[in-house]
A and B are shown apart, each in its own frame.
Chain A
Amino acid sequence: MPHEQLGNEETIPFFPDQFMREFRVMIGIVVLAVIIGILGLINPVGLEEPADPFNTPAHVKPEWYFLGLYQLLKFVPKTTGVLIPIIGVVVLALWPFFDRKKETDLKPTKIRAIIVAIGMLILIALTIWGGVS
């Protein structure tokens, strides 16, 4: 049972200890939202030109978080390019069933740190590349 895992380690009550920490983060988000709001007075979120179906702009760009994927699709053949993210999502969703070994030391954590670092580098690089190209 999962609850037994908590048996021999240090625990804290969710409320107030962890809750207060989460509450501070929420206050931080509200402060951020207010700052963004005030910045909006100086530099409002743009609206640009209205849509014109007969006039294709020179540079078509998606939201920034799709730029990496967009850039990837420029370089791989179309069908492969669209299958990569689909396979990626399936692998991501089923990951807990591929990696289920109980961990006895910190080695797997280090391996995961490397995977995260490489994955992020590729993603950030593709995103920046997609942004400037």
Chain B
Amino acid sequence: MVRRLFQWLDERLGLTTIHDVVLDRKVPKVNWWFTLGSASLFLFLIQGITGVFLTVYYVPSPDHAYDSVQYIMNEVRFGWLIRGIHHWGATLMVLVVFIHMLRTFFYAAYKYPRELTWISGVVLLLATLGMGFTGYLLPWNQRAYWATTVGTQIPGTIPFIGPFITSVMRGGSELSALTLARFFSVHIWFLPAVIAATIGLHLYLVIRLGISHIPDEND
């Protein structure tokens, strides 16, 4: 019965092919440093899940943002745990993604034919930092407000287009309800969509090209 069900699904979904290509592929004998990619993916999933739960109570408006975070911390059952994991998970994700890049650089895994894997990885690193930058403002406390004031000033010094970039980031000349709405939207929709799509490309390339081995004497 189970066998027939499996065959029925396999015929339609191609489960055997997926198993052969994704799970049964041969990889070089590698070390623990090669687990950082899947660790990054796992952290992204944790951030996604805890983030979805946080949006249930969080309100992205200057009048309510701070109170809603306080409510999550003090009133919502296990709210402190979800926010704690999301907060520290962000730090851990930046670290893991960065060390993953250092590992790739050190072992020259970016060389032919993996140039596009590297470029998609750079996009993922930038998007991860973007998540950190936009997420920092959301509690709408003093630290967040002024760090973002300075943070949005910095691109303003780029010649010609700088002031335009700053006003797009802030939604005006000063930080306001518009800024918070923009940062929230970028944090929960734009960047996660970019990250998810780029992870798809990144993983496709990793599976298609195979991972590179550790450089050795007789390369």
Let me know if A95 and B110 touch, CB within 8 A. Answer: yes
Let me know if A37 and B219 touch, CB within 8 A. Answer: no
Chain A residues within 8 Å of B25, by CB: 13-14
Say whether chain A's binding surface is mostly helix, strand, loop, or mixed: helix
Residue in B closest to A50 when the chains form the complex, CB atoms = B66
Let me know if A45 and B73 touch, CB within 8 A. Answer: yes
Say whether chain B's binding surface is mostly helix, strand, loop, or mixed: helix
Residues of B within 8 A of A (CB): 22-30, 32, 34-35, 38-39, 42-43, 46, 62, 66, 69-70, 73, 80-81, 83-85, 87-89, 91-92, 94, 98, 102, 105-108, 110-115, 118-119, 122-123, 126, 129, 132-133, 136, 139-147, 149-151, 154-155, 157-159, 162, 174-175, 209-210, 212-213, 215-217, 219
**What are 22 A-B residue pairs whose CB atoms fall within 8 Å in the complex?**
A3-B210, A12-B26, A13-B23, A21-B32, A25-B38, A33-B85, A45-B73, A48-B143, A50-B66, A51-B145, A52-B142, A53-B175, A57-B146, A63-B132, A66-B151, A79-B158, A82-B155, A94-B119, A96-B111, A106-B215, A116-B106, A120-B102
Which 7 interchain pairs have the tightest Cβ spacing?
A: A51-B145, A40-B84, A15-B23, A96-B115, A11-B26, A78-B157, A22-B38
Residues of A within 8 A of B (CB): 2-3, 5-6, 9-15, 17-19, 21-22, 24-26, 29, 32-33, 36-37, 39-41, 44-45, 47-53, 55-57, 60-66, 70, 73, 78-79, 81-83, 86, 89, 92-97, 99-100, 102-106, 108-109, 112-113, 115-116, 120
